[in-house]
Homo-oligomer: A and B are copies of this chain.
Amino acid sequence: MTTSALVPRKKPRQARSEATVEALLTAATRVLSSDGLKGFNTNRVAEVAGVSVGSLYQYYPNKAALTAALIARTQTALADGLEARIAGLAGASLAEAIADLACMAVNQQYGEARLAAALDHEERHLPVPEIAEARLRMTAAVERLLERHRDEIATGLSPRAAADCLALSRAMVEADALAGSEPDPDLAARVCRALLGYLTLDAAAVTPGPYAR
């Protein structure tokens, strides 16, 4: 089926169309944030967006495509932000840079943790190129940062260190956001500690024996 692809049906060319697409994506975010996957259905999204379901299907061939677009947008924005931030940290020390990133993670993700958690699960199933691309851009950006401070960080880091940094900060922020109602004022410091610790720990400390079963 042509219909089962995840790509949006058509690029909106007119202003009205763009507004519709924007409304749909915003509505999808709202619904997902407030009701979770349970209440996330196309009729509801269209209703919240103030358009008809028919219009939704004008732009997205199916529900998965809408979800994919939402994820793509979120991830792309995240990647954009991260790239910009890291580019702007050219002269900073490692500690400063990490602190800045931790702070950014908290600010960017805390508010959308619920949305992120909902999308999290979907991400696995949807082969959206933008997601992979965003992920790549993000790890690449972090890798550039690590490269810059090559001499301040531990030797023998896994090639997956950048990915670990991202996963780790994301997880901590999300856990905090979803657990308590009150944000912990020390959250950024905790993330910072985890990142710095991970990056600077002396290699010798890590392997005291075989990781046998």
Chain A residues within 8 Å of B, Cβ to Cβ: 36-38, 93, 95-96, 99, 102-103, 106-107, 114, 117-118, 120-121, 124-125, 158, 160-161, 163-164, 167-168, 170-172, 175-176, 178-179, 184, 186, 188-190, 192-194, 196-201, 205-209, 211-213
Contacts and interface: CB of A to CB of B under 8 A. Distances in A.
B103 A211 contact: yes
A36 B167 contact: no
A170 B190 CA distance: 16
A117 B107 contact: no
B170 A103 contact: no
Contact of A200 (B95, B175, B201, B209): B201
Given A99-B206, A117-B124, A196-B206, 13 more contacts: A37-B121, A95-B208, A106-B211, A107-B213, A158-B184, A160-B190, A164-B190, A171-B171, A188-B211, A192-B206, A194-B194, A197-B198, A198-B198
A194 B95 CA distance: 16
A24 B31 CA distance: 32
Q: Is the interface of A mostly helix, strand, loop or mixed?
A: helix
B193 A95 contact: no
Contact of A125 (B36, B99, B179): B36
A209 B167 contact: no
Contacts of A167: 171-172, 175
A176 to B, nearest CB: 8
A163 B186 CA distance: 14
Given A160-B190, A194-B197, A96 B171 contact: no
A96 B209 contact: yes
Contacts of A206: 95, 99, 189, 192-193, 196
A197 to B, nearest CB: 3
A96 B140 CA distance: 33
Contacts of A93: 208
A186 B196 CA distance: 19
A194 B206 CA distance: 9
B171 A158 contact: no
